[in-house]
Amino acid sequence: MTADPQAPLRADAQRNRDLIIAAARAIFTEHGPEVPMEDIARAAKVGIGTLYRRFPDRDALIRAVAVDSFARLLAEVRAAAVEEPTAWDALVRIMHHSTDLQLTAQLAMLSAKALQILKEDEAVCEQREELLVELERLMVRAQAAGQLRPDVGAGDIAVLIAMALRRPPAKTPEIGRLSTDRCIAIMIDGLRAHPGTPLPGRPLVRDDLRR
């Protein structure tokens, strides 16, 4: 019988679940969500039976990893909003450190199966909406302070972050990190309140990102 995912877990069961999610996060980020479940169990240093007791199939594991990633990202956005001196500084911090969005972007962009799960799962959709609301609040504050250009919306920023963190193949990990850092720096410069080039069309808002 499959364990109830909503039931409280014993300490050892919770530890195993955390190990599995951490291993899956790392492997999904590197290789995509179609990696054999045995490889994930091996990376987590648990038996395959333990993995399937916690996650009866790949869909359940993808869903859990996505929920965990959104929760981490939402916590980071909220922490940045409180800890940074300005909303602009918070947005810059989020763009530089939102590695959890790299994974969710990859899951959605590289796997039709994962995309379907992310579209249909209620918890994922709720967290995604909360994230966009938090980004929108920061964006409005940064625009009111005259630091963020007025012709962008929360949807623009979310798409930029996802694009920046979707690393292309690179000769070495160092070059991969450098290319991402440089792209983010260029994007941040383009988001400043007084850039040189007008944007086409209209700002993207939260509703534009709903599938």
Q: Phi and psi (nearest 5°) for 96?
A: -80, -25
Indicate the DSSP class of residue 36. -
pTM of the model: 0.76
Residues 78 and 177 reside in one and the same domain: yes
Report the pLDDT value the prediction gives residue 1, as an integer from 0 to 100: 44
The reported pLDDT for the residue numbered 11 is 83
> First vs last Cα of the chain: how many Å apart?
35
Considering the domain architecture, whether residues 87 and 112 belong to the same structural domain is answered as yes
Each residue of 49-107: pLDDT tens digit? 999 999 999 989 988 988 888 888 888 889 999 999 999 999 999 888 766 566 665 66
Domain assignment present for residue 3? The answer is no
Q: What is the mean pLDDT of residues 100-121?
A: 67
Residue 182: domain span:
65-209
Mapped onto helix, strand or coil, the DSSP state of residue 1 is coil
Q: What span, in angstroms and rounded, lies between the C-alpha atoms of 114 and 89? A: 32
User: Hey, what amino acid is at 181?
Assistant: D
Looking at residue 125, its pLDDT comes to 83
* pLDDT bucket at 195, cuts 50 / 70 / 90: low
- Same domain for 51 and 145, yes or no, is no
Under the banding of pLDDT at 50, 70 and 90, the label for residue 196 is: low
- Give the total number of structural domains in the chain: 2
21-39: average pLDDT: 88
Question: Are 29 and 123 in a shared domain?
Answer: no
Integer angstrom CA distances of residue 200 from 46, 80, 187, 204, 208: 51, 30, 16, 11, 16
**Residue 5 counted as domain residue:** no
What's the mean pLDDT in 147-172? 79
pLDDT number for residue 61: 93
**Are 69 and 41 in a shared domain?**
no
Q: What is the DSSP track for 75-136?
A: HHHHHHHHHSSSHHHHHHHHHHH-HHHHHHHHHHHH-HHHHHHHHH-HHHHHHHHHHHHHHH
Single residue among 56, 73, 88 that ends a domain in this structure: 56
Q: What's 86's domain CATH number?
A: 1.10.357.10
Q: Assess whether 137 and 173 both reside in one domain.
A: yes
CA distances from 61 to 33, 55, 141 (A): 9, 6, 37
**Given a cut of 90, is residue 175 above it in pLDDT?**
no
